Amino acid sequence: MRSIILVVVIALVGLAGYITTNLPTTASVVAGEVAPDFQLEDTEGNQVSLAALRGKVVLVNFWATWCPPCREEMPSMERLNEVMAGEDFVMLAINTEQKGRTVVPAFLKKTPYTFPILFDDKEVVQNLYGVYKFPESFVIRKDGTVDQKIVGPLDWSSTKTIAYFKGLIKG
């Protein structure tokens, strides 16, 4: 009986070791760190790089069409984008679906938005930022550091939120 238990314990330890060394790891980006650079394609086929936006406040939002809270917050993101037009501000909505290039155009036909939507269909940036809940957003200061990480939907067009972004822009 002891030998059976020993074999089971050894097998479980081996399995645990295999799982921990072979699962993809995602580091979580936190406030105060420099935001990892990325380059993704937008819906127009243009390459968008985070590094090229240095000197602007950037809102990076990870979302999916199947996510009700993501769809819920998008109208307020559009309003924020309209209010911040002409400011040193850029919004990047990163779609994380593997079939995003197929489903996003149909989604945008029903609900058009003017802010840039990028495709992360291989989950490279999602893993780079450690995103696993949707929506998840990162506010990046002009110097490239993360000011805030927000998990869950937000009213991006509230007076308080707009004042927050305008304050970041002023420095």
Q: What is the DSSP string of 105-136?
A: HHHHHHS---S-EEE-TT-HHHHHHT--SSSE
Whether 10 has a pLDDT exceeding 70, the answer reads no
Average pLDDT of the residues in 95-109:
97
Q: Is the pLDDT of residue 7 over 70?
A: no
* Contact indicator for 152, 135 with CB cutoff of 8 Å: yes
Q: In this predicted model, which residue has the larger pLDDT, 21 or 116?
A: 116
- Give the residue-averaged pLDDT of 46-74: 98
Mean per-residue pLDDT of the chain: 89
pLDDT of residue 77: 98
pTM, whole model, 2 decimals?
Answer: 0.84
Helix (H) or strand (E) holding 60: strand 57-63
Q: Determine contact, residues 32/19, Cβ cutoff 8 Å.
A: no
Residue 59 C-beta-side C-alpha neighbours within 13 Å: 31
Query: 82 to each of 34, 35, 66, 114, how far by Cα in Å?
Result: 27, 25, 25, 9
- Write the Ramachandran bin of 35: left for phi over 0, alpha for psi from -120 to 50, otherwise beta: beta
pLDDT at 13 over 60: no
What pLDDT, on the 0 to 100 scale, is given for residue 148? 96
